[in-house]
Amino acid sequence: QFPFGRRLPCDIYWHGVSFHDNDIFSGQVNKFPGMTEMVRKITLSRAVRTMQDLFPLEYNFYPRSWILPEEFPLFVDEYQPSFIVKPDGGCQGDGIYLIKDPSDIRLTGSIQSRPAVVQEYISKPLLVDKLKFDIRLYVLLKSLEPLEIYIAKDGLSRFCTEPYQEPTLKNLHQVFMHLTNYSLNIHSGNFIHSDNVNTGSKRTFSSILCRLSSRGADVKKLWSDIISLVIKTIIALTPELKVYYQSDIPAGKPGPTCFQILGFDILLMKNLKPMLLEVNANPSMRIEHEQELSPGVFENVPSPVDEEVKVAVIRDTLRLVDPQKKKRKDVQQHKECYKANTRYNYFVCCRCQTLENVPEGKEEALETGPAEEEECEGSRGPEAGLPSLCLKQVFPKYAKQFNYLRLVDRVAALFIRFLGVKGTTKLGPTGFRTFIRNCKLSNSNFSMAAVDILYIDITRRWNSMGIDHKESGMCLQAFVEAFFCLAQKKYKSLPLHEQVASLIDFCEYHLAALDEKRLVCGRG
Ligand code: ADP
């Protein structure tokens, strides 16, 4: 806190809640602009849905979801044994309830006034000691461009406090049986605080893995699936995050870089398939818990489980974003970018605008692997003596297996190019027309009048969903919908992801030709 203003710029700014701070022009901030908005229940569901439309099998780790109020008519026609209703923007289990019949949805206060996500309820979770539990994993998004993701090797397992039964009309309301939130279960008389990381109502994830492994479970495959879930979820979030980023930190102007610790909440199904429940932009980093010593008298006491997991996450985050290390790494990365090899695919390294090499893709299990480059350096340098890193790099380490999913990122790059005035997040009608014209998408079958109608129709619908009224114009999700529409029109018989990929190639080709022409004219 700086009551009289900050005197000197800092290397690292650690904010409590969100990115906003207009006085930062250098250094690193521990929040990304727009992250809090992106991980809200509705926005996350929409972002994952877009990816499910393109790659249904790859994104089947997120429960089927309906966004209320818009999708209420679709939802009431659904048949599922049970659903879970979650108010948008809620946390810690607040306002969540289970229903068996879509018509049981509580319309009190009207769903218009409290938008929500309804999900298929995962009714066969993996149980330990007959109890349902979820996993909180800590993930460091170290950089958006280029994408760098780290996962903590250990996390927390948070247990329910009543033995689990599949939902029936009788037990539907028993939150201690169905909801794993610590903030709820702490109020159950059955909650067990334990000094041991292997027992009690909050344990380390590694202790669960040990137990599963001793029962013969394929723990390596489970980790591989979890890493894949985390990378794919972040790939779903990055397009919109980039729109927020360019709006708050315009390219070419002095500004900080960002990193962020995210909390991933994951439920394991009975068959060990991990399912994403939600992503937290501000995961609790408390290493104490409140204990009622005598009625009404509370005291904060250390929580060994939280301490074991969270201290390592914070320590490693600071080590990874260490400004001195960053300088050394940038120099090294710059050198590597120049190495050319015809056996490799290539893409543009955004930091130095040269071609970066990526080995040809081949299937391999994903693991949180052996010591990273950073650790080796640490053992010689100023970090000698510190424990080895608990945060393991998974991206770009596994980039070659996931880059094909990053189609919407490329659509977002087109969107950002046509946004025009820096600082905006929505595309105006002129920007959309310029996009169509420059990418040569208008022809005798698709007139500019039809382009305007497409723009108005889609923009009006997205704006009526009441997402963000601060700015007028077309948001990224609306642009993505329009782009998919154009792709389906142009490449009729292909699967959607191929249609979209073909249209992106087509647009990028025409824009590159235009840039080339402008360069030649400029030189002339
Ligand atoms: P909150 O942000 O309020 O904690 P969550 O989405 O994490 O909301 O849901 C709260 C709890 O409800 C989770 O910790 C989990 O135990 C349970 N839960 C959430 N979604 C599902 C689901 N689709 N199937 C089964 N249980 C779920």
The per-residue pLDDT for 336 is 58
Cα of 296 from ligand 1 centre, angstroms: 29
Each residue's pLDDT tens digit, 350-387: 333 332 333 333 445 777 654 444 444 444 566 667 77
pLDDT band at 347 (very low <50, low <70, confident <90, very high): very low
Mutate to test the pocket of ligand 1, among 165, 181, 184 (most ligand atoms within 8 A of CB): 181
Side chain identity at 423, as an amino acid letter?
Answer: G
CA gyration radius, the chain:
24
CB 313 within 8 Å of CB 295: no
Backbone angles phi, psi at 259, to 5 degrees: -145, 165
How far apart CA 391 and CA 314 sit, in angstroms, is 10
The per-residue pLDDT for 338 is 43
The more confident residue out of 3 and 341 is 3
pLDDT cut 70: percent of the chain above it: 84
Each residue's pLDDT tens digit, 252-289: 777 788 999 999 999 999 999 999 999 999 999 999 98
How far apart CA 65 and CA 49 sit, in angstroms, is 8
Backbone angles phi, psi at 419, to 5 degrees: -65, -30
Which helix (H) or strand (E) covers residue 356, if one does?
Answer: strand 354-358
pLDDT cut 90: percent of the chain above it: 61
CB 367 within 8 Å of CB 223: yes
Task: Give, in order, the Cα–Cα distances in Å from 303 to each of 132, 200, 203, 426.
Answer: 21, 11, 10, 45
Cα of 109 from ligand 1 centre, angstroms: 22
Atom from ligand 1 closest to the CA of residue 158: 14
Atom from ligand 1 closest to the CA of residue 93: 3
CB 273 within 8 Å of CB 62: no
Mutate to test the pocket of ligand 1, among 75, 135, 179 (most ligand atoms within 8 A of CB): 179
The per-residue pLDDT for 222 is 97
Q: Whose CA is nearest to atom 11 of ligand 1?
A: 179
How far apart CA 250 and CA 235 sit, in angstroms, is 22
Cα of 268 from ligand 1 centre, angstroms: 12
Instruction: Work out the burial of residue 224: count CB atoms within 10 Å of its CB; fewer than 13 is exposed, 13-18 middle, 19 or more buried.
Output: middle
Which helix (H) or strand (E) covers residue 377, if one does?
Answer: helix 373-380
Cα of 2 from ligand 1 centre, angstroms: 38
Mutate to test the pocket of ligand 1, among 86, 131, 136, 275 (most ligand atoms within 8 A of CB): 86
Cα of 464 from ligand 1 centre, angstroms: 28
How far apart CA 201 and CA 131 sit, in angstroms, is 10
pLDDT at residue 182 greater than cutoff 80:
yes
Least confident of 134-138, 144-148, 184-188, 291-295: 291-295
Q: What is the mean pLDDT of the chain?
A: 85
User: Which candidate, 259, 276, 244, 284, places its Cα nearest to that of 44?
Assistant: 276
What tokens appear for 383 in the block?
Answer: 């970090």
pLDDT at residue 432 greater than cutoff 80:
yes
The per-residue pLDDT for 504 is 98
User: Taking CB atoms and a 6 Å cutoff, what residues make up the pocket around ligand 1?
Assistant: 63, 84, 86, 90-94, 96, 119, 121-122, 134, 179-181, 265, 267, 277-278
Cα of 217 from ligand 1 centre, angstroms: 25
Give the global pTM.
Answer: 0.88
pLDDT at residue 416 greater than cutoff 60:
yes
Cα of 395 from ligand 1 centre, angstroms: 27
Strand ranges for 193-286 from DSSP E: 202-204, 257-258, 260-268, 274-280
Atom from ligand 1 closest to the CA of residue 179: 16
Cα of 41 from ligand 1 centre, angstroms: 11
Cα of 93 from ligand 1 centre, angstroms: 7
Q: Whose CA is nearest to atom 8 of ligand 1?
A: 93
What's the rounded mean pLDDT across residues 106-131? 82
Mutate to test the pocket of ligand 1, among 65, 84, 269 (most ligand atoms within 8 A of CB): 84
Least confident of 61-75, 88-102, 397-411: 88-102
Cα of 179 from ligand 1 centre, angstroms: 6
What's the rounded mean pLDDT across residues 171-197? 90
Atom from ligand 1 closest to the CA of residue 90: 3
Q: Whose CA is nearest to atom 20 of ligand 1?
A: 277
Q: Whose CA is nearest to atom 14 of ligand 1?
A: 180
Taking residue 115's Cβ as centre, other Cβ atoms within 10 Å add up to 19
How far apart CA 69 and CA 157 sit, in angstroms, is 33
Structural domains of the chain in order of their starting residue, each with its CATH number: 12-63+122-323 (3.30.470.20), 405-518 (1.10.238.10)
What's the rounded mean pLDDT across residues 78-101? 88
β partners of residue 418: none
CB 422 within 8 Å of CB 177: no
User: Which candidate, 116, 121, 118, places its Cα nearest to that of 80?
Assistant: 121
CB 200 within 8 Å of CB 255: no
Mutate to test the pocket of ligand 1, among 96, 122, 183 (most ligand atoms within 8 A of CB): 96
Cα of 162 from ligand 1 centre, angstroms: 16
Cα of 137 from ligand 1 centre, angstroms: 15
Least confident of 156-160, 326-330, 444-448: 326-330
Cα of 103 from ligand 1 centre, angstroms: 21
What tokens appear for 317 in the block?
Answer: 């985050």
Q: Whose CA is nearest to atom 23 of ligand 1?
A: 121
